[in-house]
Amino acid sequence: MAKKKSASQDGFEIYEGLAGHRANPTMYLGELGDPMAQRCLKEIVDNAYDEAVAGRNSLIEVVIDYDNLLYVVADGAGGIPTEFKKLEDGTRTSIMTAAYSRAHAGGKFNSKAYKTSAGTHGIGAAAVNAVSEKIRLWSNYKGKLVTQTFGKGKIIGDVDPKPVKKIDKDVQALLKQKGSKYGTIAAFVLDQTIISEDARRGKKLPEKFRIAKANPEVVQAWLRNVAMLNPGLRIELRLVKKGKVKDFTFINKKDLAWVAKTMCEEREFGMLGKPFVHKSDNISCSVIWSDHPDSDNFLTFVNTSPTIDGGWHVTGFTAALSNALKKYMPAKKKGGQGFTGSDLLIGLVGMFDWRMHGAQYTSQVKDRLASKVDKEVYNELAVPMEAYFKKYPSVARNIIKRAQAMNKGREDLRKAVKSLADVKKKNRSNLPSALAVADKAKPHERELFIVEGDSAAGCFHGDTQVKTLEGPKTFAQLTADFETHGIEHKGYSYNEQTREFDVVTLRKPHRTFLANRLVELTMDSGEVVRCTLDHPFMLKDGSWKEAQHLTEADEIMEFQSFVKP
């Protein structure tokens, strides 16, 4: 009889080096697929950006060769140090080797080397090595160009102490200058068996599978934001696809005030007053209030990394704003002003970047700042904001009126919900069953969702492909593009009156469910679509049928991607 293993032994594994990064890459680099490819590119670019903030770099060059799935990042700094450091076990390794082969090895733990840093302290470069097929690295340190190779989390070759005269031909052909003109050059090809969504599902990779690659539009918007926030920093982007080359140059040749004004002009928003601008070692801020009815054009960052979900730096910004507006508020009524600090952000357009050493986030992908810096932000912005509104009091009064209007809207909604609840107590049958579910919930635990059109009829999964004018995109990409960079794509909508497809703007795509039951549909073409059970599909006869009721005999309406003149 075989000896039975104890439960504690089952599934227990020990990973050495960067093997753990390959086994669970999402812990270090976020969501699989295109977002992870984007994150890998960002981690390497962040190293070049950190050199710029430290005053040692004024150029970042990024190349994405989609034909060969090759990413190249070069900077004009002083190169990665190649000196050797002694380890605890007595062995020696070069700084360049350690940075790309060891987790928690780097110069960003020490505030003397970097006051602020965007990269993931001592993890980013090593994590990219772990999920890469191959990384070729060149460092022009102290005038000597040396090279080293990594891949799949390992060191393929040690640093050659002998300087090289030039870099590899395929990489040099993509760069604008000779390799020896740069400080550091990193060229890498990602390992699709690790980062592709198809690969991580435990299935054998089919001949045709979804290649994970950085979205060119997201990359453009992100690099442009970095350049806007850092006047004088030149960022070159080259995209190569099907042999065609597209070059972009991003540089803010003016000042921070140009940032907010440009964002409004591009969106055709009306502006109130002039931009509020504040620049220091810790803050780069350029904002202006507009006639836009929302706050989705107020972009926040920490060390130029987008904080989509905000954090304590935004809390400090809002607190300083509330304090500066106190003297312009009308006499308080019983119960206080009523509106919240976030109401004061309505119509705000621009960028706010908080820079700090040792930033901590709620997750590895850095979408929300967890470091409690609200007091530091408040202390730095309180006086400048007071001076701004003293100069533009009409802007202050306008902001307060908007906040009051927002509060009135919420109060009207509250009364409407309360009236429904009162009716419900008298006659339960008058309420829809969906609302009756909250019968025993406390008032503050109840929510009323108001939806537009038939959008509540069902939802697709985040990786479902959507036809847009630019080509197919996933719902997750549409959401990320909008929430991170304010990009709205053009798509198609079916008009039941004309029985034709119209071109429409896909406005404010967002995640509706954190968890819900899904059904997986396999089309004749082999395409797999995941969606909620009640998502309606149009059949060829013009009728509609929910996903959960579809059978092999049903024929879904075919869609031709064309635009009528």
Q: What is the pLDDT of residues 409-434, one digit of tens each?
A: 777 767 776 665 565 455 544 445 44
Identify the bridge partners of residue 290 per DSSP, sorted by sequence position: 271
- Topology at the third CATH level for domain 455-549: Endonuclease - Pi-scei; Chain A, domain 1 (2.170.16)
Domain with CATH 2.170.16.10 in the chain: 455-549
Tell me phi and psi for residue 234, to 5 degrees.
-95, 125
Residues of the chain with CATH 3.30.565.10: 19-202+211-250
Does 5 score more than 50 pLDDT?
no
- For residues 492-507, give the mean pLDDT: 71
The CA distances from residue 479 to 35, 164, 452, 482, in Å, are: 12, 45, 18, 5
Residues 6+ apart with CB under 8 A from 252: 227, 228, 229, 230, 231, 232, 233, 258, 259
Specify the higher pLDDT residue, 62 or 110: 62
**pLDDT at residue 396 greater than cutoff 80:** yes
* pLDDT digits 0-9 by tens, 448-463: 655 444 444 567 777 7
| Mean pLDDT to the nearest integer, 111-122 | 46
User: Where is average pLDDT lowest: 61-75, 131-145, 367-381, 509-523?
Assistant: 509-523
**CATH 3.30.230.10 intervals, the chain:** 257-404
Give the model's pLDDT for residue 89.
66
Q: Which residue has 């102490």 as its token pair?
A: 161
Stretch among 100-109, 112-121, 403-412, 553-562 having the lowest mean pLDDT: 112-121
pLDDT at residue number 48: 93
What does the pLDDT read at residue 408? 78
pLDDT greater at residue 99 or residue 2? 99
| 413 vs 22, more confident | 22
Answer positive or negative: Cα dihedral of 472, 477, 479, 482: negative
User: Do 195 and 24 meet the contact criterion of CB atoms below 8 Å apart?
Assistant: no
- Give the architecture-level CATH label for domain 257-404: 2-Layer Sandwich (3.30)
Percent above pLDDT 70 for the chain: 76
CB 495: neighbour CB atoms within 10 A?
10
Q: What is the mean pLDDT of residues 341-352?
A: 91
- Within 10 Å of residue 301's Cβ, how many Cβ atoms? 21
Is the pLDDT higher at 423 or at 182?
182
pLDDT top residue among 92 and 255: 255
CB-CB contact of 556 with 539 (8 Å) = yes
CA-CA distance, 89 to 218, in Å (whole number)? 44
3-class secondary-structure state, position 333: coil
pTM for the full predicted model = 0.66
Residue 536 above 60 pLDDT?
yes
Range list of β-strands (E), 325-453: 348-354
Looking at per-residue pLDDT, the higher value among 550 and 499 belongs to 550
How far CA 276 is from CA of 47, 111, 311, 348, in Å, comes to: 29, 29, 21, 11
Given pLDDT bands bounded at 50, 70 and 90, which one contains residue 350? very high
Architecture of domain 19-202+211-250: 2-Layer Sandwich (3.30)
